[in-house]
Amino acid sequence: MKSVTALKRIKWSAYLVALMFLAMLPLAYWWTDAADAPGILLMSCIILAAATVIGVFASILQKLVTSALAFKTENELTI
């Protein structure tokens, strides 16, 4: 059960990072426009995408581990 809890924390942390970068995206756009440096906006979008992918992957792993633990418990009770 520790692994499920750890995956849940990873999932919500990744979603929180993605949400923070999504909220800062208009500021990054303004900063990019003012500084004429498109790399800032590109890096913000890459970090946003990476955090979202990590969150989705952790969510899938959490469901997979939960079902595997349920299957293991069920098999241990079978004679």
List the pLDDT tens digit at each of the 79 positions of the chain: 899 999 999 999 999 999 999 999 999 889 888 888 888 889 999 999 999 999 999 999 999 999 999 999 888 887 6
Distances (CA, A) of 16 to 40, 41, 66: 20, 19, 22
Dist. CA 25–CA 50, nearest whole Å: 15
Contact status, residue 27 vs residue 15, Cβ threshold 8 Å: no
